[in-house]
Amino acid sequence: MNEQHDIVVIGAGPAGMAAATLASRHGASVLVLDEQPRPGGQIYRAVERRREDGAAILGAEYLDGAGLVDRFRASTARYVPGATVWQVDASGEIGVTVEDRAQLLRADQIILASGAQERPFPVPGWTLPGVMNAGAAQILLKTSGIAMPAPVFVGTGPLLYLVAHQYLRAGVKVAGLLDTTPRGNYTRALPHLPGTMRHATSLWKGWRWQREIRASGIPVMSGVEDIRIVGAGAAEAVEYCKSGRWSRVPAETVLLHQGVVPNVNLAMAAGCRHDWHPEQACWHARVDDWGTSSHPNIAVAGDGAGIAGAVAAEAGGQIAALGALHRLGRITTEQRDNLAAPMRRALDHQVGLRRFLDTLYRPADRFRIPPGDDTIVCRCEEVSAAQIREAVALGCRGPNQLKSFTRAGMGPCQGRFCGLTVTEVIAAERGCAITDVGAARLRAPVKPLELGQLAALDEAE
């Protein structure tokens, strides 16, 4: 894989597949690097294997990805699964490990389609065995047909209800659902409701999930204000507070979720500028209308550039591909703009629903910024909220300096799962804006790389 490529796409979810298919159609040499064993990303994970039974459990929308995968497979884009990208450089250099061999590639244009990840949910007990993210439970369901036994779902957001509904359709017993959506969010979301009328089908779908879950007899508790997971060595129960009263639900499996955020690690490590998105409470890559980042040869597409869903990600990937083709001189400005017109309409239509959803399902402050000092924030290094606050009291100003104080963000995940919490805890403790604190500085390798693999790189590389 050491040859030069016109375009390298990183990630084979909706955005990556759509970008690669369109770019290869216009004659560009396209390489797609994907960490997963099959294309589809998280939303369409294992869709090629689930064509027969997928709709019955996972929903008809899940099978929409099969056509996208087929078009991608039929394209001339070269697909490399099981590829772990650990470096992206503004010079066009890409570090990747495939089959335990580290390599360096070069590309004239790079499209990062790294997708989304679940937002951290730091509550007491979230590190106990038996506690996992709802998205991880969905991965098991899609890839292996495995469901967690009698789980209690905890959190907020459409994915929480989607996975609970999929469990229901799979015939799996669900012990309960604790909804932490703040009651005030409903009032704050109302002004955005008129703008969602074009999305009546999507709203109806979400309402139907909730109705069927409640009708099935699954205990659903709304307005949950506080959560703690308790157990001696493993999860045994979820204790929750509503209207000032604490109650307890026995649970050996707890599935947490409070929304998804862009996976920004590669883009940040490449030096692409990012901005804080106050509505979604996360970092977004700063991109132009063609997905181009602050580096003209790196574009960011799909949920990696901002959460908007699978259909929007597909359109965003195509737009990013058109921008890359134009920069390569493969298409004219007029061709680019004309080809992009229907994709922009599709993107605008999907994005129209986001303001309502972002407002309605914005997690409560206490579930993003743990008030309890004993709550673990950085799971890799076992750094608690108290240790972060103590570091701020000693003069720590941001997450990069915090590494010296506590090692938070220096574990195998490189701050991928604690970075947002660390930044918000520091900002709250300092009483300043998020932008005054900033994000953790990321450097290659952004994924674990063995020294032997690095040493085995060809001398020329």
**The two domains 120-258 and 369-436 share their CATH topology (first three levels equal):** no
Enumerate the domain spans of the chain: 4-117+261-355, 120-258, 369-436
The tally of CA atoms less than 13 A away on the side-chain side of residue 459 is 0
Q: What is the pTM of this model?
A: 0.95
CA angle at 64 for the pair 319 and 166, rounded to the nearest 5°: 125
- The phi, psi pair for 401, rounded to 5°, reads -70, -30
At residue 459, the pLDDT reads 54
- With residues binned 3-state (H G I as helix, E B as strand, rest as coil), the percentages for the chain, rounded to 5, are 40, 20, 40
Whether domain 120-258 has CATH 3.90.1150.10: no
What percentage of the chain exceeds 70 in pLDDT? 99
| CA-based nearest residue to 110, from 95, 85, 93 | 93
The stretches in the chain having pLDDT less than 70 are 1-2, 458-461
pLDDT tens for 403-426 read: 999 999 998 888 889 999 999 999
At residue 416, the pLDDT reads 87
pLDDT tens for 61-75 read: 888 899 999 999 999
In this structure, are residues 424 and 399 in contact, taking their beta carbons and an 8 Å threshold? Answer: no
Kindly state the helix (H) or strand (E) to which residue 389 belongs, with its residue range: helix 385-393
At residue 56, the pLDDT reads 80
At residue 164, the pLDDT reads 97
Which listed CATH number (3.10.620.30, 3.20.20.80, 1.10.10.1100, 3.40.50.720) goes with 369-436?
Answer: 1.10.10.1100
Question: What residues contact residue 193 under an 8 Å CB cut-off, 6+ apart?
Answer: 356
At residue 155, the pLDDT reads 98
Assign domain 4-117+261-355 to a CATH class: alpha beta
| CA-based nearest residue to 40, from 61, 11, 19 | 11
Measure the CA dihedral 382/127/303/368, to 10°.
-80
